[in-house]
Homo-oligomer: A and B are copies of this chain.
Amino acid sequence: MKELWDKYPILKKQLEEFELYLLKILEVRQPLIREAIQELVKAGGKRIRPALVLVSGQFGRISHEELFPIAAAIEIIHMATLVHDDIIDEARVRRGVVTTQAKYGKDIAVFTGDYLFAKSFLLLSGKVDQEFLRRIARSVKYICEGEIDQYQNRYNLNVSYLKYFRRIRRKTAILFQASCFSGGFKAKLKKKYQIVLAKYGHYLGMIFQITDDILDVTSNQEVTGKPVGNDFSQGVYTLPLIFALEDKEVGPELGKALKEEVIDKDRIIKMIHSTDALEKTKRVIEFYTEKARAEIEKLPSSKPARFLEDLLYYIVSRNY
């Protein structure tokens, strides 16, 4: 993604400022939470959500600093869900860095996540109007529902597309949508542009999650920083797998392989690759990409619009 930022040096600089802002507002008194949280911030992440807030704001007249609290609140909510997510996944590494729960234990991870949620609401209250706060609180609710849905459907070989899309919408797309919407909202864009940005964010979020799910069966740990086959080995069946299970020849065998006591990840990945599942999944991504492009076209032709287009391209073609 480095090349993307290099094309947009102003945004890049704003995000560097944002990074310092984020570290500053997360200076916590309690030493253990501080340590855990500072490590989380320093572990980085793509900061796509803050970037979306800032860029969406650029369609109007607002300084980037005014958008920092909202961008930070959304990124902090994202961090909180990651911390709690890792408890569920019993994940040892994320982004190549040892997770909070692996380093400090589940106990600290639970309250670090809670602390981050509280912090994000503290950041927002006073900075945005009540209707906006309600949207954010509702997003968090949806994220939780998505996570529990996912947990509840683990090892369910009959998980439908509908359920999969519903789940990733809640789990991922909603916060992308909120990021784009909030930048536009705060910059007081015309209502129609706020809606266009929200839709773009939604489609981008869907694409982001689906490519993530592709990477889980195509990439390797050195590139993504997390173990491959992580999802299906924990019973989370994503789109490539759902398509592969439909394959008349490979499907039944794959179903059996997934039910084995100790599953053979490499074999399962090979089986998926032997079907047209990845092709089909990529077609779904293309579908969403078209939708997202159509939204961008409704926006005034401008530098931020070009960024949204470029970002789309980077998300689709990312391999990390």
- Collect the chain B residues with CB atoms within 8 Å of residue A143's CB: 114
Residue of B with least CB distance to A142: B118
Cα A110 to Cα B117 in complex, Å, equals 13
Residue A318 at the chain B interface, CB threshold 8 Å = no
Residue A84 at the chain B interface, CB threshold 8 Å = yes
Residue A107 at the chain B interface, CB threshold 8 Å = yes
Interface centre among A84, A106, A111, A137 (most CB of B within 10 A): A111
- Collect the chain B residues with CB atoms within 8 Å of residue A114's CB: 80-81, 84, 113-114, 117, 140, 143-144
Beyond A30-B149, A106-B106, is A118–B140 a contact (Cβ under 8 Å)?
A: yes
- Collect the chain B residues with CB atoms within 8 Å of residue A87's CB: 106-107, 110
Cβ-defined partner of A148 (8 Å) among B108, B149, B152: B108
Residue A141 at the chain B interface, CB threshold 8 Å = yes
Residue A82 at the chain B interface, CB threshold 8 Å = no
- Are A125 and B117 within 8 A (Cβ)? no
Kindly provide the distance from the CB of A116 to the nearest chain B CB, expressed in whole angstroms. Answer: 9
Binary B-proximity of A144-163 (CB < 8 A = 1, otherwise 0): 11011101100000000000
Cα A107 to Cα B106 in complex, Å, equals 10
Interface centre among A28, A29, A113, A125 (most CB of B within 10 A): A125
Residue A4 at the chain B interface, CB threshold 8 Å = no
- Are A151 and B115 within 8 A (Cβ)? no
Kindly provide the distance from the CB of A137 to the nearest chain B CB, expressed in whole angstroms. Answer: 4
